[in-house]
């Protein structure tokens, strides 16, 4: 597919490009195959996977590669796979959910809340490379619920102790 680089943030090591049909795709610095840094306005070729662009190469580089004589395939050469760039599940989101469930019966609700907030932050910044936002939210809800229940029980116990004295 062909398109044009819209922007590239060197601090975040990621950018956005628009294909000729107008759809936008995100790409990371590791997907850039140019000899020099990506610049807004660069014409590129790429392979879309969801909303992520892989194998992003400048058009002049892609044209030079097409005109070069084909190299014989070696047994060790492997084509890039979609699985290599597939999003992965955030482990902190899973920890948040497990700790949230455990927090209903044991201590763990504070861990659920902390891990849930960190997981959601990492998922938002990962540009689609991490998933599990729903798990993190569920862990947060269970963690906060368990904290409120623990607080109410503690207040009740303290009140009962003060009433008996």
Question: pLDDT for 5-26, tens place per residue?
Answer: 888 887 777 888 898 888 888 8
18 and 50 in a single domain? The answer is yes
For residue 127, count other CB atoms closer than 10 A to its CB: 17
Query: pLDDT band at residue 70, thresholds of 50, 70 and 90?
Result: very low
In a domain, 46, yes or no: yes
Higher pLDDT, 14 or 76: 14
Query: pLDDT band at residue 85, thresholds of 50, 70 and 90?
Result: low
96 and 34 in a single domain? The answer is no
In a domain, 78, yes or no: no
In a domain, 80, yes or no: no
100 and 150 in a single domain? The answer is yes
What is the gyration radius of the CA atoms in the chain, in angstroms? 25
N- to C-terminal Cα separation, the chain? 78
Q: At what angle do helices 133-164 and 91-103 cross, to 10 degrees?
A: 30
In a domain, 52, yes or no: yes
Range(s) of the domain holding residue 119: 88-164
If one counts the domains in the chain, the total is 2
Arithmetic mean of pLDDT over the chain = 82
The average pLDDT across 87-111 equals 87
Query: How many separate helices (H) and strands (E) can be counted in the chain?
Result: 4, 7
Strands (E), the chain: 2-9, 14-19, 24-28, 43-49, 52-58, 88-89, 130-131
pLDDT at res. 32: 80
Higher pLDDT, 38 or 101: 101
pLDDT at res. 62: 47
Record the tokens describing residue 164, joined without a space.
Answer: 């008996």
From the list 53, 63, 65, the residue with the least C-alpha distance to 26 is 53
pLDDT at res. 17: 87
The average pLDDT across 133-144 equals 93
Q: What angle do CA 71, 84, 134 make, to 5 degrees?
A: 160
The average pLDDT across 136-148 equals 93
Q: Is 53 left (phi over 0), alpha (psi -120 to 50) or beta?
A: beta
């Amino acid at each position: 597919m062909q398109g044009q680089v819209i922007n590239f943030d060197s601090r975040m090591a990621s950018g956005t490009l628009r294909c000729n049909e107008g759809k936008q795709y995100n790409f990371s610095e590791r997907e850039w195959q140019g000899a020099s840094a990506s610049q807004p306005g660069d014409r590129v070729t790429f392979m879309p996977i969801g909303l992520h662009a892989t194998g992003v190469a400048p058009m002049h580089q892609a044209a030079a590669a097409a005109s070069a004589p084909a190299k014989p395939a070696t047994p060790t050469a492997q084509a890039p796979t979609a699985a290599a760039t597939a999003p992965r599940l955030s482990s902190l989101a899973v920890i948040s959910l497990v700790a949230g469930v455990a927090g209903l019966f044991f201590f763990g609700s504070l861990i659920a809340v902390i891990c849930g907030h960190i997981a959601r932050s990492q998922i938002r910044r990962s540009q689609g490379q991490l998933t599990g936002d729903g798990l993190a939210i569920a862990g947060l809800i269970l963690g906060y619920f368990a904290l409120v229940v623990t607080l109410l029980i503690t207040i009740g116990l303290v009140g009962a102790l003060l009433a008996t004295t």
